[in-house]
Amino acid sequence: MAIYHLSTKPVSRSSGRTATASIAYRAGIAIKDKRTGKEHDYTKRSGVAYTRLHTPNGLKIDRNELWNLAETTETRKNSRTAREIVVNLPHELSGRLRVMLVNDFAKDLANQYGVAVDVAIHTPDAQGDNRNHHAHIMLTTRKLERLESGRVALTDKSQLEMSNTQLKERGLPSAREELKAIREQWANITNKHLKEAKIDARIDHRSHKDRGLEQLPTKKLGWEASALERKGIKTATGDYNRKVEEYNHAMQQLAIIEKSLNAVTEQREQSNDKLREGIERAVKLIESATHNTAWADKRARQVNERVNDSQQGIEGAEREIDASTSAIDQADRSIAEHQQSKLKAEREAQLQQQAKEPKPLRPSSKEPHIKGAEAIDRYNTRVLDLERQYQQDKQRSIEPLKEELAQLQQAYDTDKKSVFMGKKTWVQQREEKLEEIRQLNSKIEAKEFMAKTESRRYAIKFIANHEPQTVQEAKQGQQAIEEYKEQQKQQQPQVEPLQVRTSKNKNNDKGMDR
């Protein structure tokens, strides 16, 4: 099925990126950055299936000239020189139709915001999902216009790069609302192309919550986690996605059972309605017979017959109710069995996961008399020492980033508007500084998380590679402990299991179930 994905992020100098290097890598070309003097050559890279540059009103400009102009137009050291949009392309479409889809979207962006839009379609990685066709779409942050002199230049900031204050002053939607509009625009264009190609698949830009779905959404792995998963190394995001898939599968099974229960309940309500109607008809006949003296006997016989029919209907309805009640009881037992099997499956999955993860050997303090137990203590102590050493090294590498973050935060807190600076310019600069602080803080949090999660794996792998004798001695000690425990277990007296008699009375069983 077609999968929806659209993400956007700025190309900013504060993060060490340039527009020239970004487009050179994505388009697989060579560009020399006139501002820095660096040459970016990615002509030998593979996976670039198609590239094209779109400009508003068909303005003519070379790709090399355009992105050098984007770099030289911006003068601040933390300027945003481009914006990148990454979209997933439906694998159901052919290569030609995917090109047409991306070009239609890029033309709309160029004409709508007056910016240049550079498209690069990439093929799936050889070792990844062969359906992962995607496109990188680079937008200039400023409008591309022809001046009165005839020269093509980048002028004012586009709507996508304005602050919310500037957008509000101009009566334009906020940045968040505009991004939602772009996401919806991509979904509409994609679904149009799928329909024209007579493909039933469709995509939806809305979240699971907005669509009223009880399923949990998975998280995007990213290229680093995807590479680790392909090598058989499980990641936290990968484990989370696998748990989400298990949960969604369980929810689907519960939805099926709930549907069956609703059908049984509806059937029971219909039976009750028929019963009430039969009783009401019998009551009306009785009331009519009471006021009719001439035909009292005849009407009485008729009433008796209708009452008998009603009684049979009541008995049939009661049988249907009993059948419905049994079905409900069976469904309740099915739900209980399903929940138990789900808990059992989750427990088995946890045990299998724990078995796959590398773990240090158990401490041997309870078996000090067994030969080799001290080797296990040495092994565990060595693992803990290497863990602490690894985390300390990572923390030292993070300290410069924390110092930089503190300096940025202090500069932001003490920043005051100069008398020579306009209010709009000052507000914009503060928003840019705040965005830089957020990005640096996210980078620090990511590094600290990696230091905590990778320390145990690093320690065990280091000992296995550089200290095999320590591992061998610890394993021998562990084996000796297991053999000792097995001997102790065999020496324990055997106890006959207690036989419990159960009742075979169906009525009692049914009463207990209810």
Residues 33 and 143 in one domain: yes
Q: What is the dihedral of CA 27, 30, 31, 36, to 10 degrees?
A: 120
Condensed to tens digits (0 to 9), the pLDDT of residues 374-406 reads: 878 888 888 888 888 888 888 888 888 888 888
3-class state of residue 175 by DSSP: helix
Instruction: Dig out the tokens for 30 from the structure.
Output: 């060579």
pTM assigned to the model: 0.46
pLDDT band at 365 (very low <50, low <70, confident <90, very high): very low
Domain for residue 319, yes or no? yes
Domain that holds residue 348: 236-356
Same domain, 303 and 379: no
Flag whether pLDDT at 325 surpasses 70: no
Query: Which pLDDT score, from 0 to 100, does residue 228 have?
Result: 78
Q: Which residues touch 423 (CB under 8 Å, ≥6 apart)?
A: 417
Residues whose CB is less than 8 angstroms from the CB of residue 395 and which lie 6 or more positions away in sequence, other chains included? 448, 451
Choose the weakest-confidence range: 56-60, 62-66, 281-285.
281-285
Residue 501 lies in a domain: no
pLDDT band at 504 (very low <50, low <70, confident <90, very high): very low
Q: Bigger pLDDT: 131 or 264?
A: 131
Residue 460: how many CB atoms within 10 A of its CB?
A: 20
- Shared-domain flag, residues 114 and 199: yes
The length of the chain, given as a count of residues:
514
- Residue 289 scores a pLDDT above 60: no
What's the token pair of residue 5? 């994905």
In a shared domain, residues 78 and 198 = yes
**CATH number for the domain harbouring residue 105:** 3.30.930.30
The mean predicted confidence, pLDDT, of the chain is 78
pLDDT-based confidence at residue 502 (cuts at 50, 70, 90)? very low
pLDDT digits (tens, 9 = 90+) for 64-106: 999 999 999 999 989 999 999 999 999 999 999 999 999 999 9
* Same domain as 172, residue 35: yes
How remote is the C-alpha of 185 from its chain's centroid?
Answer: 22
Q: Does residue 288 or residue 77 have the better pLDDT?
A: 77
Do 475 and 383 lie in one domain? The reply is yes
Choose between 100 and 331: higher pLDDT. Answer: 100
Total Cβ atoms within 10 A of residue 102: 27
Residue 39 DSSP one-character state: E
Residues 150 and 277 in one domain: no
* Contact status, residue 429 vs residue 373, Cβ threshold 8 Å: no
Q: Do 352 and 395 sit in the same domain of this protein? A: no
- Please report whether residue 137 resides in a domain: yes
Chain segment 313-323, per-residue pLDDT in tens: 656 655 665 56
**pLDDT at site 513:** 42
Under the banding of pLDDT at 50, 70 and 90, the label for residue 193 is: very high
List pLDDT tens digits, range 117-164: 999 999 987 666 667 899 999 999 999 999 999 999 999 999 999 999
Whether 362 shows a pLDDT value over 50: the answer reads: no
Residue 168 scores a pLDDT above 80: yes
If asked whether residues 128 and 242 sit together in one domain, one would say no
pLDDT of 470 > 90? The answer is no
Last-in-domain residue among 291, 323, 356 = 356
Domain count, the chain: 3
Q: Is 439:15 a contact under the CB 8 Å cutoff?
A: yes
Q: What is the mean pLDDT of residues 489-504?
A: 56
Query: Phi/psi of residue 119, each to 5°?
Result: -110, 135
Q: Quickly state the pLDDT bin for 51 (edges 50, 70, 90).
A: very high
Given 321, 356, 391, the domain boundary residue is 356
Q: Is residue 456 part of a domain?
A: yes
Most confidently modeled range among 267-281, 360-374, 430-444: 430-444
Residue 216 has pLDDT above 80, yes or no: no
